[in-house]
Structure 1
Amino acid sequence: MSTSVTAPAPAPAAPPPPRGGLPWAHLLRLLAILFGVVVVLIPVYVLLITSFKGPGDASSARAWALPQDWTFTNWSVAWEALAPSIWRSVQIVVPATIISAMLGCMNGFVLSRWRFPGADLVFTLILFGMFLPYQAVMIPLMQMLLAVNVPSGVPSLVLLHVVFGIPITTLIFRNYFESVPHELIESSKMDGAGMLRTFWHIALPLAIPGFVVVLIWQFTNAWNDFLFAVFFSSPANGPVTLALNNLANGALLANYGVSMAGAVLASLPTLLVYILLSKYFLAGLMQGSVKG
């Protein structure tokens, strides 16, 4: 006589989570983000509305109020005052960013993939340049540039931004190349490719995300630099940060609208770079932070 065994009934499924309303933790997170955005955008709001105010309307008492009469005169005056220095900033930033990025890419590739005696010491010495306070080296830098007859203005600032950009670009590219699979480099060696050929045909095409990170970083730092501009240039041959300072502290001080319009014009290039490349910037940072 066979005995039948009855299978146990399946446990009832858990009820779905109740709908209607966000969890409190999620809601508090959204409120915190919204508060941070508002705090960040308050100065931007004051900056923009003041740039459209006339001399009598732009005052601390009416800082939050909209313009009584909207005017674009401030923008035209600011553009006439800053246009030459904006072009000089482009002449400084573009070559300095590209050259420092290329040198940092080569350094990072060699220090991460082509080990040689003393490589760690060389990397440490390069990184030491990141921790040097700029104020402590201004006088030696000035004496050195005068001794080698480097002209002030664009040539001096390009050279300085390249030199002081090498440590951070080397660090970023070294970390990035550490995430590249070793098999790619080893296979190129087995095929007979040397260091330069491996760099140009294998490493450089793979380093595009790293280049985006470095280019944005270097572009922003060089464009917003003021300390080097004060020491190694003048209002006649300096970048836009120096001209903006002279605009704010000059005869137009009473007209805050012109100063605010000039500040917006001076910040537009870096803002556009971030808007256009922010997605690739974050992707490059995340990819370079993962070690292979």
Structure 2
Amino acid sequence: MTAVAARDLTSPIKPASGGKPSVGRFSVGRTLKYALLLFFLLVVLIPVYVLVITSFKGAGDASPARAWNLPQVWTLENWQTAWDTLAPAIGRTFQMVIPAAIISSFLGSLNGFVLARWRFRGADLVFTLILFGMFIPYQAVIIPLSKLVVDIGLPNGVPTLIFLHVVYGLPITTLIFRNYYQSIPHELIEAARIDGAGMLRTYYSVVLPISIPSFVVVLIWQFTSAWNDFLFAVFFSSSQNGPVTVALNNLANGAMLQNYGVSMAGALLASFPTLIVYILLGKYFIGGLMSGSVKG
């Protein structure tokens, strides 16, 4: 047995199949894959490069002819000007998106729970009608919404935008929560009913504590959707009471039209909150989205 073992240890290791190492067969494929990924990364980062370097250029240095060149003199004046102009609008945008995201997420959670686990006659029809709201373009309802806002007496600006984003956020939040709640074991809901818990008590004590992944998804989704909205903002607010998208549009098309550096700095300032949210919570967003879509 000792001789056999020694012969086995000294014998060369044969490839798994085909006489070639398995690693070498896929080296070309991996190289092409990473090359394509690098190419697409460069395509995405090229505009970001121009945006960043232009924001640090002076008024005479920031021009289309010198878009690819580094600044001759690095300056923070553009950032200071953009911040002084956009700071009030950024504050109003936070006042709008935070309540809109929280309210629409909570209402979508209630809708999803009722439609998924507290069935009633016509639940599927109600769910289908709610989903229709996802496919109605904003442009098609601007005039009816304007009349509705006037009839109910909502003040122009942040209150109206909160109301609109809550209403328009209900279809997607309801869909995500319904899919997630369908993955909850039915025995868990039945055990709560046997213990005497009603619908609201079951939701508050049993379902809500395990809904964190879906809440992360819908909060990020609603936050970014409301923050980046321009159509509702330009129709239902003004530069004095509107969000940052309206102020950024005025900054780019106002008296500073030729000052590309200020416009670029303003665009970066306006995008920082959503970028920070995705950097900090991106992995939770993907995990929560998959838990709601795959299991549903």
Give the TM-score, by structure 1 length.
0.93
- The 5-angstrom pairing of residues 96-245 of structure 1 reads 96-245=100-249
- Aligned-residue offset at 1:20: 7.0
Q: Report what 1:59 is aligned to.
A: 63
- Aligned-residue offset at 1:21: 9.3
CA distance in structure 1 between the aligned counterparts of 2:90 and 2:25, rounded to whole angstroms: 50
Q: Report what 1:3 is aligned to.
A: none
Q: Which runs of 5+ in 1 are unaligned?
A: 1-9
In the alignment, structure 1 residue 83 sits paired with structure 2 residue 87: yes
Q: Report what 1:24 is aligned to.
A: 28
CA distance in structure 1 between the aligned counterparts of 2:128 and 2:22, rounded to whole angstroms: 56
Alignment CA distance shift 1:18-1:134 (3 Å): closer
- Aligned-residue offset at 1:36: 1.1
Question: Which segment drifts farther, 66-75 or 125-134?
Answer: 125-134
Give the 3-state SS of the residue equivalent to 2:73 in structure 1. coil
Q: What one-letter code is carried by the residue in structure 2 that aligns with 1:136?
A: A
Q: Report what 1:7 is aligned to.
A: none
How many residues were matched structurally? 282
CA distance in structure 2 between the aligned counterparts of 1:177 and 1:247, rounded to whole angstroms: 44
Q: Report what 2:47 is aligned to.
A: 43
Residues 248-286 of structure 1 deviation map (CA, whole Å, 9 limit, x = unaligned): 000111110000000000000000000000010011011
In the alignment, structure 1 residue 251 sits paired with structure 2 residue 255: yes
Q: Which runs of 5+ in 2 are unaligned?
A: 1-7
CA distance in structure 2 between the aligned counterparts of 1:136 and 1:155, rounded to whole angstroms: 21
- The 5-angstrom pairing of residues 266-281 of structure 1 reads 266-281=270-285
CA distance in structure 1 between the aligned counterparts of 2:283 and 2:156, rounded to whole angstroms: 37
CA distance in structure 1 between the aligned counterparts of 2:183 and 2:27, rounded to whole angstroms: 38
In the alignment, structure 1 residue 74 sits paired with structure 2 residue 78: yes
CA distance in structure 1 between the aligned counterparts of 2:116 and 2:201, rounded to whole angstroms: 16
CA distance in structure 2 between the aligned counterparts of 1:13 and 1:107, rounded to whole angstroms: 61
- Aligned-residue offset at 1:19: 5.8
Residues 21-68 of structure 1 deviation map (CA, whole Å, 9 limit, x = unaligned): 961111111111111111111111110000000011001111011000
- Identity between Structure 1 and Structure 2 (%): 68
Residues 70-128 of structure 1 deviation map (CA, whole Å, 9 limit, x = unaligned): 00000000000000000000000000000000000000011000100010111011111
Q: Is the 8 A contact 1:51 1:258 kept in 2?
A: yes
Residues 163-205 of structure 1 deviation map (CA, whole Å, 9 limit, x = unaligned): 0000000001001111222221122122221111110111111
Alignment CA distance shift 1:62-1:39 (3 Å): same
Question: Alignment RMSD, CA only?
Answer: 1.6
Question: Which segment drifts farther, 271-280 or 197-206?
Answer: 197-206
Give the 3-state SS of the residue equivalent to 1:252 in structure 2. coil
Residues 105-162 of structure 1 deviation map (CA, whole Å, 9 limit, x = unaligned): 0000110001000101110111111111111110111011111111000010000000
Give the TM-score, by structure 2 length.
0.92
Question: Which segment drifts farther, 174-183 or 157-166?
Answer: 174-183
CA distance in structure 1 between the aligned counterparts of 2:289 and 2:30, rounded to whole angstroms: 26
Q: What one-letter code is carried by the residue in structure 2 that aligns with 1:15?
A: P
Q: What one-letter code is carried by the residue in structure 1 that aligns with 2:195?
A: D
Q: What one-letter code is carried by the residue in structure 1 that aligns with 2:236?
A: F
